[in-house]
């Protein structure tokens, strides 16, 4: 009964206090919070950025907090991030937490799972020659999704949420790019099927995406649980190896991954689950990133004019009319410094991943200012670049404000020098992580977002329904997962330019 529970809690509390007291010398300040075992879990889950800001004021830029039975050491000094992200994997491990999320959210358990083997196999499929193939396929699929429907109804003004529009276009085109299309050569019918099927994948995926923070924290209601189960089941069917086997123009990323799963003896059911996990890992961030970018442009006419001016210049120099261009070559993509700055600035304001590492052995963490702290085996290390460098007023004046040219030098090239404490920063924004585990899809993702923005600005009229609409607040439960999402969508209208 209750008294017993209280007794249990009391014992736990005493044990924790005891453990707290016997933290060893040289360890960061420890903050257990007031609830035994849970510690700061509730506050952390509700709004991690506010909580960590409060802790930073109290303890400085390194401290340890208790969160749901785990000791988490939080490091917020960007000058010291590099030692962490480049530390050897035998000391700070990236994968333990990823494996935990894999199981809890996506029900994936892989036989003989070796993250390093998997990564060695997959890495080349997102870079170099394969990157070019992905980028070209993405352009063609974006065109199918955005411009393919030439019916009368698709020609007039359409109303939609901007997040829905951006997320749906990028995920659908991204899905077709990685998982393959209906048929080759493409016909009007096969492209119509690509549009319908990818829309089905998006709508199903999005329902799971909305449940994700609760799934990760294990806080689903009974009704949510049912819903999550049904949605997962449906996604496993949509992405089953049997269905994928019939698709054309599959990426080498997909080919390599399926082959790897086969070779490690993964059952068909488990393969389908892994495919859904990968859909989220590869497609969960591009859409929200494009949403914020377009919203900042729509709310900042000067920025929009600067980007459009840059695109017009590019188009006037192009050898053929854009409507005939079946690819947007890397050379063209690489000559959009204004759009690059807009993208960097959007990501600075809205990318908030946790960079987490498991402490595998007791180790000393040297800080850039000369201090050194002991980390204990079994603890978790957490960097949160969203607070610093990205929102740090010492590095960025008016850090809350979108300034489209923040990442442009006066000569129009990319600005790369940012300072804190008088010292130049190596990591001044970290939407892609950094070090050994920096995002492998970074180049492909940047190309894709730029292609999407290019197509939208060149081919569409796009307007806020209410020009005075405020930029929505974040859904605060999503800190840590990557790109933030808005608390609610922003209505827009759009039409293909007549
Ligand atoms: C705007 C889009 C994206 C953002 C902001 C993003 C961000 C990130 C971040 C923060 C990490 C973890 C870094 C760490 O913990 O140190 C990561 C890892 C990764 N990302 Fe992305 N990502 C994006 C799109 C993509 C795409 C499109 C792909 C693939 C097609 C991809 C593939 C990967 C892979 C494979 C890893 C794991 C790297 C490893 O195992 O070391 N990402 N990404």
pLDDT tens digits for 273-309? 999 999 999 999 999 999 999 999 999 999 999 999 9
pLDDT score at 453: 98
287 lines ligand 1 (CB under 6 A): no
382 lines ligand 1 (CB under 6 A): no
pLDDT score at 153: 72
Low-confidence ranges of the chain (pLDDT < 50): 1-2, 21
Q: What is the 3-state secondary structure (H, E, C) of 4-28?
A: HHHHHHHHHHHHHHHHHHCCCCCCC
* Phi-psi label, residue 175: left if phi above 0, alpha if psi -120 to 50, beta otherwise: alpha
Q: Rounded to the nearest 10 degrees, how much is the dihedral formed by the CA atoms of 101, 275, 278, 123? A: 120
- Give me ligand 1 centre to Cα 27, in Å: 31
pLDDT score at 263: 94
pLDDT tens for residues 445-495?
A: 999 999 999 999 999 999 999 999 999 999 999 999 999 999 999 999 999
- Give me ligand 1 centre to Cα 283, in Å: 10
| Closest Cα to atom 40 of ligand 1 | 437
pLDDT score at 6: 55
The 3-state DSSP composition of the chain as helix, strand, coil percent (nearest 5) reads 55, 15, 30
In the numeric block, which tokens belong to residue 293? 């970018």
Q: Which atom of ligand 1 is nearest to the CA of 288?
A: 1
Residue numbers in the known binding site are 104, 110, 285, 380, 439
126 lines ligand 1 (CB under 6 A): yes
432 lines ligand 1 (CB under 6 A): yes
Starting at the edge strand found earlier in the chain, the sheet holding 491-496 runs: 158-161, 491-496, 460-464
- Give me ligand 1 centre to Cα 164, in Å: 22
Give pTM, 2 decimals: 0.94
108 lines ligand 1 (CB under 6 A): no
CA 304 from chain centre, in angstroms, equals 24
Find tokens 């997320």 and name the residue. 167
- Give me ligand 1 centre to Cα 442, in Å: 7
d(CA 232, CA 211): 11
Which residues, at least 6 apart from 118, have a Cβ–Cβ distance to it below 8 Å? 260
pLDDT score at 8: 58
441 lines ligand 1 (CB under 6 A): yes
């Amino acid at each position: 009964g209750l008294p017993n529970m209280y007794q249990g809690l009391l014992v736990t509390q005493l044990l924790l206090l005891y453990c707290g007291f016997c933290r060893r010398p040289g360890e960061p300040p420890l903050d257990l919070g007031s609830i035994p075992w849970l510690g700061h879990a509730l506050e952390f889950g509700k709004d991690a950025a506010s909580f960590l800001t409060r802790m930073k004021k109290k303890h400085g830029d390194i401290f340890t907090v208790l969160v749901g039975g785990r000791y988490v050491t939080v490091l917020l000094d960007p000058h010291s991030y590099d030692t962490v992200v480049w530390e050897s994997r035998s000391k700070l491990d990236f994968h333990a937490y990823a494996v935990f999320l894999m199981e809890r959210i996506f029900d994936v358990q892989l036989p003989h799972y070796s993250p390093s083997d998997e990564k060695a196999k997959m890495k080349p499929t997102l870079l170099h020659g394969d990157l070019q193939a992905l980028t070209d396929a993405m352009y063609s699929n974006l065109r199918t999704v955005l411009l393919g429907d030439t019916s009368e109804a698709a020609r007039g003004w359409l109303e939609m949420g901007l997040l829905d529009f951006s997320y749906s276009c990028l995920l659908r085109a991204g899905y077709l790019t990685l998982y393959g299309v209906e048929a080759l050569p493409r016909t009007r019918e096969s492209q119509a099927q690509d549009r319908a099927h990818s829309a089905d994948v998006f709508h199903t995926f999005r329902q799971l995406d909305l449940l994700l923070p609760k799934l990760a924290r294990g806080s689903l209601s009974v009704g949510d649980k049912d819903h999550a189960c049904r949605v997962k089941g449906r996604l496993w069917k949509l992405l089953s190896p049997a269905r994928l086997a019939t698709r054309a123009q599959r990426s080498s990323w997909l080919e390599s991954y399926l082959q790897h799963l086969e070779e490690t003896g993964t059952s068909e059911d488990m393969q389908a689950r892994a495919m859904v996990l990968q859909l989220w890992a590869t497609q969960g961030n591009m859409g929200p990133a494009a949403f914020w970018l377009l919203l900042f442009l729509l709310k900042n006419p000067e920025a929009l004019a600067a980007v459009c001016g840059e695109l017009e210049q590019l188009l006037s120099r192009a050898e053929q009319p854009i409507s005939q261009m079946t690819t947007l070559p890397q050379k063209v993509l690489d000559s959009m410094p204004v759009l690059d700055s807009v993208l960097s600035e959007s990501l600075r304001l809205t990318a908030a991943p946790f960079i987490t590492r498991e402490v595998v052995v007791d180790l000393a963490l040297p800080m850039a200012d000369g201090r050194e702290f002991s980390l204990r085996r079994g603890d978790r290390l957490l960097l949160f670049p969203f607070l610093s460098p990205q929102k740090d007023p010492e590095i960025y004046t008016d850090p809350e404000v979108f300034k489209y040219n923040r990442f442009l030098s006066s000569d129009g090239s990319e600005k790369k020098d940012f300072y804190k404490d008088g010292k130049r920063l190596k990591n001044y924004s970290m939407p892609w992580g950094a070090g050994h585990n920096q995002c492998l899809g970074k180049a492909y993702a940047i190309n894709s977002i730029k292609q999407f923005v290019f197509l939208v600005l060149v081919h569409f009229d796009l307007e806020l329904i209410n020009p005075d609409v405020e930029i929505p607040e974040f859904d605060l439960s999503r800190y840590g997962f990557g790109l933030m999402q808005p608390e609610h969508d922003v209505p827009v209208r759009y039409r293909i330019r007549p």
